[in-house]
């Protein structure tokens, strides 16, 4: 009995996942609850476990994107440990089975039938593919199920097997983009063995192109589309690279490790007169000029889509102000040791900004609201998202009901969420929701920026670097630690009066922290 393993539901807002890597190969025996692969969503990474004991059959390769509920693999629960997948064995020895079935003295003959091959359906959301490379030449004799080409989609690379035995007539060329169902080639059907002329040409080609001692497989010395791009950028011929993939195929890792062979020394040195007449050579550039190409992660692709959507779908504006940080810095200097001793956490700037933001949001509720269709949703609570730079990309965990938390509770929650973000252990619930976002580019040295709204929220506050500048105070010039603050907001719901007043109120609270305690 075969048990289908489907992509599980991993969150309310997640509709698809990407296969990160397989820990078990197709045909291997797996045990109940054993981790077999890793799934990546736009928010977190999950492990997929086996739901029963048996032999694994992989249905989707690493890098493919699947919708929730799609079949990802099957487990043959009747198979015992040590068994191999029968389908895999049959696939590995198609030539042997054909030799036993076909009579030894069969004769070739053209039937007159022409088999038209079209681009097959390779996924629900895929409407077109690109012909990456032909593995067989025009006019070659191909056998049934022999791989003749590779096609690329926006999600994965697929191999195209011959649907009949005969003479190949290519219609599309490498690099062509074809719609699903588009004609890719024709096969003039031939019964029996390959024609003698074709056999001679085929054997001559294989003897001249196949390396000595090689397996003779079509994949040997052939670069995958990703590897071919990397080799082309490096200026390296695929013939100079040894493949470590299946049947000798050159993988992406092989291409990244490949080095250009050293140039052969010149046979003879030119004479002095020839050197004078020759054009001056360009100066050699010192150092290496390597490049690295990486596939965009699922999280990075989602971030890209959402940032572009925020720019295109909102009437976004940014207003600025500046804050004298000396009162807060003096307060921290005076009480930071006592604060840490009592609460076992450092007193940072985030608690001051979070508490000040909550007061300002409650006074200007439009900044804490969001648009839903033709309606505006106002929140009487403050769920403050904090932007954290994690190894896999930017994430925004949420501090729930920040308006009701004390300074030490805010600091502890910031530390907890930031630590989980950097360790990649945030849950979906900890990253969903949020009514307003704070991002601190100042920790990286940013002086001023225009942050992009975190949809569906309507505003985001940007903190920046603290710089000592000369400021005029009561007719005197004083050197003060100043910070620029920026509020990006959706003008469809927030007017200029509200955005400017919000920042002014924030400035008052930060420059006079006693207001936060007295509520004035």
Residues with catalytic roles? 491, 495
Distance CA 88, CA 78 (A): 16
Distance CA 53, CA 74 (A): 11
Query: What is the biggest distance separating any 2 CA atoms in the chain, rounded to whole angstroms?
Result: 109
Q: Report how far Cα 385 is from the mean position of its chain's Cα atoms.
A: 23
- From the list 366, 365, 358, the residue with the least C-alpha distance to 519 is 358
Q: Is 475 exposed, middle or buried (0-12, 13-18, 19+ CB in 10 A)?
A: exposed
Please count the CA atoms within 13 angstroms of the CA of 334 that sit on its side-chain side: 6
Whole-angstrom CA distances from 297 to 233, 392, 453 are: 22, 8, 22
Alpha helices in 222-266 (DSSP H): 225-234, 252-257
Q: 318 in helix, strand or coil?
A: strand
Q: Is-cis flag, bond preceding 456, omega within 30?
A: yes
The answer to whether 142 and 193 are in contact (CB under 8 A) is no
Helix (H) or strand (E) holding 340: helix 326-343
DSSP tally for the chain: helices H, then strands E: 13, 26
The answer to whether 5 and 48 are in contact (CB under 8 A) is yes
The answer to whether 221 and 211 are in contact (CB under 8 A) is yes
Distance CA 106, CA 13 (A): 60
For 61, residues 6+ apart whose C-beta sits below 8 A from its C-beta are 19, 22, 156
CA gyration radius, the chain: 32
- Sign of the dihedral through C-alpha 217, 218, 222, 225: negative
Whole-angstrom CA distances from 391 to 19, 21, 300, 415 are: 19, 18, 11, 16
- From the list 132, 141, 159, the residue with the least C-alpha distance to 206 is 141
């Amino acid at each position: 009995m075969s048990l289908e393993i489907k992509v599980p539901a991993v969150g309310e807002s997640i509709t698809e996942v990407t296969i990160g890597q397989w820990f078990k190969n197709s045909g291997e025996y797996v045990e109940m609850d054993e981790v077999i692969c890793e799934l990546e969503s736009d928010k977190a990474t999950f492990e997929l476990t086996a739901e029963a004991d048996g032999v694994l059959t992989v249905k989707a390769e690493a890098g493919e994107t699947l919708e929730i509920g799609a079949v990802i693999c099957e487990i043959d629960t009747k198979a015992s440990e040590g068994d191999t997948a029968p389908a895999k064995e049959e696939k590995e020895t198609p030539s042997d089975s054909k030799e036993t079935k076909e009579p030894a003295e069969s004769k070739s003959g053209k039937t007159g039938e022409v088999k038209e091959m079209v681009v097959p359906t390779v996924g629900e959301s895929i409407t077109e593919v690109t012909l990456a490379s032909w593995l067989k030449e025009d006019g070659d004799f191909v056998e049934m199920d022999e791989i003749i080409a590779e096609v690329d989609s926006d999600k994965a690379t697929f191999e195209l097997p011959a649907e009949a035995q005969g003479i190949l007539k290519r219609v599309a060329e490498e690099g062509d983009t074809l719609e699903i169902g588009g004609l890719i080639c024709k096969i003039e059907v031939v019964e029996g063995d390959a024609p003698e002329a074709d056999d001679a040409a085929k054997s001559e080609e294989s003897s001249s192109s196949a390396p000595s001692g090689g397996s003779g497989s079509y994949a040997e010395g052939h670069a995958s589309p990703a590897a071919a791009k990397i080799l082309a950028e490096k200026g390296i011929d695929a013939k100079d690279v040894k493949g470590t993939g299946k049947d000798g195929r050159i993988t992406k890792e092989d291409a990244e490790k490949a080095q250009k062979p050293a140039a052969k020394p010149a046979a003879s040195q030119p004479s002095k007169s020839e050197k004078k007449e020759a054009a001056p050579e360009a100066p050699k550039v010192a150092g290496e000029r390597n490049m690295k190409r990486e596939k965009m992660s699922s999280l990075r692709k989602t971030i890209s889509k959402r940032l572009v959507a925020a720019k295109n779908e909102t009437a976004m504006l940014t207003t600025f102000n500046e804050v004298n940080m000396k009162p807060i810095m003096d307060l921290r200097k005076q009480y930071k040791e006592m604060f840490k001793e009592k609460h076992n956490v450092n007193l940072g700037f985030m608690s001051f900004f979070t508490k000040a933001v909550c007061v300002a949001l409650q006074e200007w509720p439009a900044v804490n609201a969001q648009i839903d269709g033709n309606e505006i949703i106002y929140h009487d609570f403050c769920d403050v998202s904090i932007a954290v730079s994690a190894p896999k990309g930017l994430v925004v965990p949420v501090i729930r009901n920040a308006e009701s938390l004390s300074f030490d509770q805010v600091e502890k929650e910031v530390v907890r969420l930031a630590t989980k973000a950097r360790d990649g252990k945030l849950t979906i619930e900890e990253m969903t929701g949020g009514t307003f976002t704070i991002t601190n580019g100042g920790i990286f040295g940013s002086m001023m920026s225009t942050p992009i709204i975190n949809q569906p929220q309507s505003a985001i506050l940007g903190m920046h670097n603290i710089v000592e500048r000369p400021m005029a105070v009561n007719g005197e010039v004083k050197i003060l630690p100043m910070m620029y603050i920026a509020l990006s907001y959706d003008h469809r719901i927030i007017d200029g009066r509200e955005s400017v007043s919000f920042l002014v109120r924030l400035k008052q609270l930060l420059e006079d922290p006693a207001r936060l305690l007295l509520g004035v």
